Amino acid sequence: MGLTFDHHTLGQRVLFGTGAAVDNTAAAVAALGSRRVLLIADPFVADLADAVAARTPVVARIRDVVAHVPIERARTAVAVARDNEVDAVVTIGGGSSTGLAKIVARDTGLPIVAIPTTFAGSEATDVWGMTEAHRKTTGVDPNVLPKIVVYDAALSTSLPGRLAVASGLNAVAHAIDGFWAPRADPINRALGTEGLRALIPGLRALHANPDDLDTREQLLYGAYLAAVAFASAGSGMHHKICHALGGAYNLPHADTHAIMLGYVISFNGPAAPDAQSRISAAFDELPGATGLFQLRRDLGAVKSLADIGFAETDIPDAARIILPSIPPSNPRPVTQADLESLLHDAWAGVPVKQEGP
């Protein structure tokens, strides 16, 4: 009788099939009735981009994609879309390619067909991000949610092993941060929980056998569920920290998420028993932060912020940048000192010890 919530599910078509990326993309573009396509693709998927261009009415291409979507690149992409009178955007690659397409869609209203090659999950959210003057701004806009997503597990095989692990841990962060995000509700908690059930054993299986496409399908499934949950729940403390670090210090997106998540779990978990229980269950009843650190160790993930170029001397300024963005609904209050302590531990790679479930 005490259960009340207001849940919003984003509308999106998903075409899922290993080895079917080109066929499904052509079908997606045809379904939109598009006649003039802008193709945005990471350089490392040039062959796939060429194959897609041969099957769809591409009139312009952007090959130069940069992490965190610098505002200058975003403005150029919007101008390319307008100058070529395109009526749809096809994006192939990771979160950076999808992120650039989202700014085009935000400013033009054009539909997006997203073909992800990582487990980033950006393709399933209505969240955009852009960096200007070393500050990353994010927002929510229904125009940026891709209309159609084309998933093909074979495409993720182009990811080097370490990046595949970091990308998968980024997906884990979507599920977990959604447990205590501002709009968390029973439905997106359920989606996030199922996402973790697929992602955590999937990451272990991928580490054991990187060539197993069934495992990669499982990871894509889990990454999608986690991203849908995150899109509904909103950005929690973890994502606010990572977005600020990425924009201000140009840290690699997925690695930053992989490093920070355990520290946020350790900080928030005791004040969020339901979330703590769900996370613990996903790690075979180990305390959540402990389980995540063991997983990172077993997968050979990057260990610390220092390892990816973050300087200890930047900790106070980083904490000041982050603090205003922490949601008031966070399970426990957050101070400047809390953030400095958390960032210092993450900079040093201090193992987290967490008691309880």
The residue among 274, 288, 272, 95 whose CA lies nearest residue 200 is 288
Domain 13-156 has CATH 3.40.50.300: no
Over residues 44-69, mean pLDDT: 95
Q: Give me the chain's average pLDDT, please.
A: 94
- Assigned token pair, 155: 């495409």
The residue among 133, 179, 145, 205 whose CA lies nearest residue 271 is 179
Strands (E), 100-243: 112-116, 127-132, 135-140, 148-151
CB-based contacts of 106, cutoff 8 Å, min separation 6? 128, 141, 143, 144
223 in Cβ contact with 40 (< 8 Å)? no
What are the sequence ranges of the domains in the chain?
Answer: 13-156, 164-348
The residue among 24, 9, 17 whose CA lies nearest residue 225 is 9
Q: How does pLDDT run across 194-218, given as a tens digit for each residue?
A: 999 999 999 999 999 999 999 999 9
* In the block, residue with structure tokens 């339901």: 274
Q: How does pLDDT run across 214-273, given as a tens digit for each residue?
A: 999 999 999 999 999 999 999 999 999 999 999 999 999 889 999 999 999 999 999 999
- The H or E element that residue 102 is part of is helix 95-108
Over residues 36-62, mean pLDDT: 96
Amino acid at 335: T
- Assigned token pair, 102: 């989202």
What is the bridge-based pairing of β-strands 135-140 and 148-151?
unpaired
Topology of the domain comprising 164-348: Dehydroquinate synthase-like, alpha domain (1.20.1090)
pTM for this prediction: 0.92
The Cβ-side half-sphere exposure at 200, using a 13 Å CA radius, reads 23
